[in-house]
Structure 1
């Protein structure tokens, strides 16, 4: 452990000398005690991109010729699913975006040419003055957070948590440069990256989007990635192969109470700077041209409406002269605001409203009126538009050819090109952290017999995590990753080249007893909101992966565990059951590189050593979600900076404690859908016997149309639109491969099936809520039941969300056997019906209050 402690000491010194030179320890203590704003905490930054007289003169000239309508349009950023090319021609929006899981033509498998064509069409409409009188080019923003992750075939790099473990800023800059190239091929100008959160509570569902709990790494990485995306200020800054970067989310998103996504950060102002602002210090000094406001609050006030932080601190004191863009309808969360009416955000310093859904149009109209009646000063509008124009001019958007005619546009061979995949493989190798290596079992010889097991072994989507093609990273198959490789692919290639034998079995069943088993398992993909957890106990109450490890160990097989996760988790039992344990994080599309480190060559020579080191402390119990380096009391299982290399003495025994004080109440019931499907359930739309899996944000089958929508947060609900048909049509939640699941607990304790719904049309005469434990058809059998809930739905308000509950005894009495559940939820109709649904689950002790009760 001496090497680890030395590393920590070195990093503490680096952080103290580099990131916090502005204030002394005494000043930190004094300012921690203050409750009033203290602007002197914040530095005046030496920003690499300086104001230029030429640029400012051009900005002023363009601004002078603009109407108020044109100015407001520059401040509106709609989403591609909610505007048309004609809308762009009419309004001349300053920018637009594709949200996670949004694609040209609503097609998940849109080609790079489809992306280019949409970019070209939107650009040409924006410079067409025939309707709006404006020739100002628009710009397209996208979430390219670990590569150009919305585009099929792009190189997907490890998520930020894995990159933090490499502690290699030069590698990060190379990754950003490669990402910028692939983005520019599709004609897109702007990426919403990097995320520079310093995570203090690992229960947060965006922990994997953070490089480290240590502000020093965040500071250095932010500088590097901004340089890689935009280029270094000078001759080639924001040139033909660079994109506009966005440091996000300003500020404190990684420090909310309880790790609550979009929650409240109550840090002192000095800690807000010392811990949470270092990514902005790094990124802005490198010349980042945009900053995204955060969903979270600071001491109860939402950042989208926080004038002190957005204007007084960020713009005036720190000297940021680019623009501040909002996050997905984040302005609507400000007290007194809605998605379509929020002058408070502009007055606070927001320059661009990110406003997906149809709310963009009334927001546009309201902002116009609010300037005319003096609610928003014209000078504030002019300041916002000046900042937008300044960035567009710096980026050369007025001079660059249209998207289809730019230097890199259409060179699709650059998307997923080998040099980029080689960078990704390097990142995978350097991000792996070896936590346990009993008896130096690693590295393995490739000429042995190996069993590869676990549901992440041959699953590129699972190893890539959230923000992977779809927003949550779900509903992807290996076929969605041309040019990618699974962890199994690399193992197989290594072993077969050395004349060893390899067998793949997700469940760990084998034909011939192997010499060693490599088990690849971990968290299911998730993104913001849906990734929040109550505790860090891996698979609490399920422990199916632990059962697999125990079964292999009982057979006398040595076990090497490869753990896929977006955060450190408490898994002492799984570590105990492993001879070697590797934290692989979320390695992205090039999983084969894991084998480069695990195996020697055929002659026994080491190829690559383990060099990754923990950038997050590893918890000693499930409640230790807030253990962070530099804490006054610091007792993790494994400290920040820990990581074994080959030949190091193993430090983790086989008898780590597997018990703890359960201070966290486990949620009762069974959750089916919370914006993402919960394992083992899958979502399908159906029309009669014709079913289609949901693999994107939209889907159509015969007379049924499905689309994700927002209820509280992004895509936490879906809309179902059914046109009249002879078939019962709708949506179905079913077990994977229609395997019978034991849900006997949900038939007891006065449980109800609960879901939120919003009727958006007239209620048909028949709306069938169904369960099925025998067949997958819509015809009730001896173990299936339908309830017509139409009459009960009539009592609910139209176009408003309501909770609807049904006593499960209604289904039990009709013959449904919960011990063999196949379809726990199905909603359908033969008549035309449009409804939105969210939060589908079973809950206990609610039957007496159910909307539909079947009590004897």
Structure 2
């Protein structure tokens, strides 16, 4: 008998031989002497060593299984593959749904019915109804299987105007209240069902190990202790309890994400590589799945990250051997936004590896769904994908649909909660959100017991986050990045200032809002509300934890009060702990408010005493993330050498004596980077710039992922990661384009960039012929009326010779613009693209890069 075959039959030695094969650089799958059954035995025994066999509260039901089997037996290959395709609402039509019968579809962050950010609940229900009716129309595809709509409702139904937005997960982790979390999830399910949607991509159960990660605020904690409990609570809140109201008329399907290890990538790199041992992968990063799967979660979303260099979307051992076979998960695995396209050997239009690895549903936005659908069918026919794997995927999808009652429930417009606008942002929902805000606040410093404040004082409220609901809500708030929103977009919401103003005015005190801190009469105390700008996913990745490195404007504001002897209460808005030693020193009291969501007024309930001078609500929040001592410190609970500034679990109450004095080291350990790059657009407009679409004399600020004017259409698209670029399609009916301006009217001095021989650079892809001039302009005026202070260059020739459908870099020396009379010392428009022709162009990463002038391929015309 072959010795390897002998050892694979010996369970005691099976794991050892697997390790030996891997050590030798030869995986078991590569050894021709092993059969498929024997390889599976090795994988199963390996998984048995670490991963538990879970018992889900939702048991298999014979009647459900028979119905699924009956449905499957009647389906064609084309119908089965259609169940595995999940397009995005901006990329399909009702006719597409009628023709293919997609198993599901989604709205991405910033995707709205009719491409309208201000769509009403009725608009959402109408689209859900139309898609549902098209899916059960068998006139073209022969299928009557109902589709499902999935959405990212990650802190409430955050894509919909007027919804209740709860604190982001990092704040909820500080609250450490599982009952509250279940209630929040139940309310979220209610508001989601008002819009006719079936399925929520939540909870996120990442265990964050490096706070430089741009998704840190989506994690409840750096430690699995809270994550496991919260995951079960959210699943029960969304889906209902298995023995009571499971997936009933007032519940939605949940999706635990992102499997697995997304919070532990090297350097906090979004979509990066997790190199944890398998034991750590389970002990630290899998605990949210233990909690959520046990509670009966019906779907799991695969993660963008890799594990030891292999992308999880194509990782058969993790998706199939561990999650499905060992842990016993019998729902379906859905991919993340074109994540399958990152698997080695794959593109977003073609990835048999992901199907074979265990991916059941492809989240495939853009028109890539068409070739992907065709390729999967062809690969089954060619034998690259086994029919049994397709049948397994579709069985899992149908099982969840049957369990959710989608075959019996009325159509979306006729469901119990659909269209009940009184529930959207209901006062009872907002009161739960206000409770969550109060419990999420963590008091880090309270010298002299300055807090709580009497509302009868003269209080100055300062800082650019004080009256800014968008900034306090962070990413995933109406728009994907949380940018481009105004207070008026948060119907029913409240800013932090508004809550303070309401209570102080009622108590007979004096309150003044002054963003820049200026005043006429010296106040008794200043409340300064400041912090991070909104971001989501990779756009929030940073290389160190120093707050406002190189631009300490908020510190200057704090110090301006300190210098005048005015006591300062700092309210810090952030998606992660940051190094703020100087800001702590400059403050008498310091509150970590995280990202509280739409109910900012609840903060006043904790900061202020009542009119009768009693404490209204004490601080109860405790850090679920360790606070760093330096900007380069990556610190987590149970580290061998644990030396956080504020330890995990820290948080003062009004009964505590504060010993934190103003003597924290303000010496940064960050090595300054002398390389100069000034970003204008990096997945979003970079402050101080805002992005405008224009056509002739019409201008609109871009506040959504899709916008249009006469003769021009704008939409976010993908280059390297989700929505890191934008596409412009013009019809030639008008001179139209896009430009970046400082909406405050200030001019930016780019003289330093000129002195450092910088070039204006960007990536561009053409998907059309270029038969008309395409101008790149920089300007000292936002209107373009000042011909003496602008400079334009026509890049038509460079675009015309580029290969259609491929990205290229355009770089124009700033000296070119200066030679035409542009004053780089007062730039109002750093980038404008305009054309009077019909073009289809995609643009990525607009920036000014030093020392690029000499090598810029674009030569200044003489």
TM range (shorter): over 0.9
In the aligned structure 1, how far is the partner of 2:653 from the partner of 2:559? 26
CA-to-partner distance for each residue in 1:356-383, whole Å, 9 max, x for gaps? 1001111111111111111110000110
Residue pair 1:143, 1:193 contacting (<8 A) in 2 also = yes
Secondary structure, in 3 states, of the residue corresponding to 1:117? helix
- Aligned residue among 783, 790, 803 for 2:789: 783
Structure 2 residue 301 is matched with structure 1 residue 292:
yes
1:697 to 1:245, Cα distance in 2 relative to 1, 3 A: same
In the aligned structure 2, how far is the partner of 1:125 from the partner of 1:765? 41
- Aligned residue among 120, 124, 144 for 2:129: 120
CA-to-partner distance for each residue in 1:633-679, whole Å, 9 max, x for gaps? 11111111001000211132212111133246365221111101111
CA-to-partner distance for each residue in 1:256-281, whole Å, 9 max, x for gaps? 00111100000000000011000000
In the aligned structure 2, how far is the partner of 1:483 from the partner of 1:41? 48
Q: What RMSD, in angstroms, separates the aligned Cα atoms of the two structures? A: 1.6
Residue pair 1:296, 1:302 contacting (<8 A) in 2 also = yes
- Aligned residue among 658, 661, 664 for 1:656: 664
- Aligned residue among 323, 331, 347 for 2:340: 331
Secondary structure, in 3 states, of the residue corresponding to 1:540? coil
Alignment of structure 1 residues 303-382 onto 2, 5 Å: 303-382=312-391
In the aligned structure 2, how far is the partner of 1:430 from the partner of 1:819? 48
Secondary structure, in 3 states, of the residue corresponding to 1:55? helix
In the aligned structure 1, how far is the partner of 2:706 from the partner of 2:519? 39
Moved more, 758-767 or 716-725: 758-767
Counterpart of 1:164 in structure 2 is 173
Counterpart of 1:436 in structure 2 is 445
Return the offset for 1:738. 2.4
Secondary structure, in 3 states, of the residue corresponding to 2:737? strand
Residue pair 1:689, 1:777 contacting (<8 A) in 2 also = no
Return the offset for 1:720. 1.0
In the aligned structure 1, how far is the partner of 2:674 from the partner of 2:215? 22
Alignment of structure 1 residues 703-742 onto 2, 5 Å: 703-725=711-733, 727=735, 729-742=736-749
Counterpart of 1:80 in structure 2 is 89
Secondary structure, in 3 states, of the residue corresponding to 2:854? helix
Return the offset for 1:725. 4.2
Counterpart of 2:215 in structure 1 is 206
- Aligned residue among 676, 687, 710 for 1:679: 687
In the aligned structure 2, how far is the partner of 1:240 from the partner of 1:175? 18
**Scaled by the length of structure 1, what TM-score is found?**
0.95
Counterpart of 1:16 in structure 2 is none
Counterpart of 2:113 in structure 1 is 104
Alignment of structure 1 residues 536-551 onto 2, 5 Å: 536-551=545-560
Uncovered stretches (5+) of structure 1, i.e. residues with no partner: 1-26
Return the offset for 1:722. 1.9
Return the offset for 1:712. 1.2
CA-to-partner distance for each residue in 1:554-608, whole Å, 9 max, x for gaps? 2221111100000000011111111111000000000000000000001210000
Structure 2 residue 765 is matched with structure 1 residue 762:
no
Counterpart of 1:412 in structure 2 is 421
- Aligned residue among 570, 584, 594 for 1:585: 594
- Aligned residue among 802, 814, 817 for 1:808: 814
Residue pair 1:688, 1:778 contacting (<8 A) in 2 also = no
In the aligned structure 1, how far is the partner of 2:696 from the partner of 2:137? 47
In the aligned structure 1, how far is the partner of 2:67 from the partner of 2:691? 53
Alignment of structure 1 residues 271-282 onto 2, 5 Å: 271-282=280-291
- Aligned residue among 413, 416, 421 for 2:430: 421
In the aligned structure 2, how far is the partner of 1:723 from the partner of 1:855? 28
Return the offset for 1:778. 2.9
Structure 2 residue 679 is matched with structure 1 residue 668:
no
In the aligned structure 2, how far is the partner of 1:362 from the partner of 1:463? 41
In the aligned structure 1, how far is the partner of 2:827 from the partner of 2:527? 32
In the aligned structure 2, how far is the partner of 1:854 from the partner of 1:114? 50
Residue pair 2:772, 2:838 contacting (<8 A) in 1 also = no
In the aligned structure 2, how far is the partner of 1:853 from the partner of 1:126? 54
CA-to-partner distance for each residue in 1:688-710, whole Å, 9 max, x for gaps? 33211001111112222111111
Counterpart of 1:752 in structure 2 is 759
Return the offset for 1:779. 3.8
Alignment of structure 1 residues 373-412 onto 2, 5 Å: 373-412=382-421
CA-to-partner distance for each residue in 1:179-238, whole Å, 9 max, x for gaps? 001111111100000000000011110000000001010001001110100000024100
In the aligned structure 2, how far is the partner of 1:273 from the partner of 1:667? 40
In the aligned structure 2, how far is the partner of 1:481 from the partner of 1:258? 35
In the aligned structure 2, how far is the partner of 1:67 from the partner of 1:402? 25
In the aligned structure 1, how far is the partner of 2:405 from the partner of 2:836? 55
1:542 to 1:282, Cα distance in 2 relative to 1, 3 A: same
1:478 to 1:423, Cα distance in 2 relative to 1, 3 A: same
Residue pair 2:740, 2:831 contacting (<8 A) in 1 also = yes
CA-to-partner distance for each residue in 1:309-354, whole Å, 9 max, x for gaps? 0000000000000000000011111111111111110100000011
1:411 to 1:628, Cα distance in 2 relative to 1, 3 A: same
- Aligned residue among 594, 598, 602 for 2:607: 598
- Aligned residue among 218, 224, 238 for 1:215: 224
Residue pair 1:444, 1:598 contacting (<8 A) in 2 also = yes
Return the offset for 1:714. 1.0
Secondary structure, in 3 states, of the residue corresponding to 1:124? helix
CA-to-partner distance for each residue in 1:798-849, whole Å, 9 max, x for gaps? 2211111110001111222222111111111122222110100111111121
Secondary structure, in 3 states, of the residue corresponding to 1:80? coil
Moved more, 660-669 or 118-127: 660-669
Return the offset for 1:855. 10
Structure 2 residue 72 is matched with structure 1 residue 63:
yes
Residue pair 1:74, 1:94 contacting (<8 A) in 2 also = yes
In the aligned structure 1, how far is the partner of 2:342 from the partner of 2:389? 21
Moved more, 164-173 or 644-653: 644-653
Residue pair 1:758, 1:799 contacting (<8 A) in 2 also = yes
In the aligned structure 2, how far is the partner of 1:466 from the partner of 1:667? 29
Counterpart of 1:24 in structure 2 is none
Structure 2 residue 646 is matched with structure 1 residue 638:
yes
Secondary structure, in 3 states, of the residue corresponding to 1:41? coil
Return the offset for 1:793. 2.6
Residue pair 1:573, 1:656 contacting (<8 A) in 2 also = yes
**Scaled by the length of structure 2, what TM-score is found?**
0.94
In the aligned structure 2, how far is the partner of 1:574 from the partner of 1:781? 44
Secondary structure, in 3 states, of the residue corresponding to 2:739? strand
Secondary structure, in 3 states, of the residue corresponding to 1:382? helix
In the aligned structure 1, how far is the partner of 2:799 from the partner of 2:232? 55
Counterpart of 1:844 in structure 2 is 850
Counterpart of 1:91 in structure 2 is 100
In the aligned structure 2, how far is the partner of 1:278 from the partner of 1:98? 28
Return the offset for 1:550. 1.3
Residue pair 2:711, 2:734 contacting (<8 A) in 1 also = no
CA-to-partner distance for each residue in 1:504-525, whole Å, 9 max, x for gaps? 1111111221111111111010
Moved more, 653-662 or 67-76: 653-662
Alignment of structure 1 residues 473-552 onto 2, 5 Å: 473-552=482-561
Secondary structure, in 3 states, of the residue corresponding to 1:381? helix
Structure 2 residue 182 is matched with structure 1 residue 173:
yes
In the aligned structure 2, how far is the partner of 1:80 from the partner of 1:824? 33
In the aligned structure 2, how far is the partner of 1:503 from the partner of 1:159? 28
Residue pair 1:534, 1:664 contacting (<8 A) in 2 also = no
CA-to-partner distance for each residue in 1:708-743, whole Å, 9 max, x for gaps? 11111111000111222454x211011122211222
Counterpart of 1:4 in structure 2 is none
- Aligned residue among 832, 838, 846 for 1:826: 832
Return the offset for 1:780. 4.4
Residue pair 1:780, 1:786 contacting (<8 A) in 2 also = no
In the aligned structure 1, how far is the partner of 2:518 from the partner of 2:787? 34
Residue pair 1:809, 1:855 contacting (<8 A) in 2 also = no
